[in-house]
């Protein structure tokens, strides 16, 4: 598996989790027996399912925009493999903040990518 493939999988997996939860909610509400007292609980689950599918679509669209920017050389890139960098994380013991590469999982210090922002 190449670094680029791993980066694309990590970006798309983040967008796929809300869709899996929404499918689980759909399966749970479809398996309920048809009883009048359970109908009151069905409507919130339908709205939650729609909200989760909308969130999944928005996260997938955000991942597509990040990949589009990466393909054109924009964004914060890893110096080792050229893949996108993830979110900024606080460093250990108050040291410099860092970002982890989505492709090779190497840590990049803030002083190395601060000039790119």
> Tens digits of per-residue pLDDT, 36-52?
666 777 778 888 889 99
Q: Span 5-17, mean pLDDT?
A: 91
**For residue range 89-103, what is the model confidence (pLDDT) as tens digits?**
888 776 788 888 999
- 67 and 97 housed in the same domain: no
| Residue among 47, 43, 41, 49 nearest 25 (CA) | 49
Structure tokens given for 11: 């970006």
Phi then psi for 24, rounded to 5 degrees? -65, -40
Boundaries of domain holding 106:
75-117
11: Cβ–Cβ under 8 A, 6 or more apart, which residues?
63, 66, 67, 84, 102
For the chain, give the percent of residues with pLDDT over 70.
87
C-alpha 58/C-alpha 15 separation (Å) is 8
- 39 and 70 housed in the same domain: yes
- 69 and 79 housed in the same domain: no
């Amino acid at each position: 598996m190449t670094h680029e493939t791993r980066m694309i999988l990590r970006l798309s997996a983040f967008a796929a989790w809300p869709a899996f939860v929404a499918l689980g909610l759909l399966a749970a509400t479809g398996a309920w027996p048809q009883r009048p007292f359970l109908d009151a609980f069905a409507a919130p689950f339908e709205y939650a399912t729609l909200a989760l599918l909308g969130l999944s679509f928005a996260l997938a669209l955000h991942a597509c925009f990040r990949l589009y920017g990466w393909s054109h050389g924009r964004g914060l890139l890893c110096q080792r493999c050229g893949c996108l960098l993830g979110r900024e994380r606080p460093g250990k013991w108050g040291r410099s903040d860092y970002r982890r590469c989505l492709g090779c999982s190497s840590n990049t210090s803030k002083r190395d990518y601060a000039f790119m922002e």
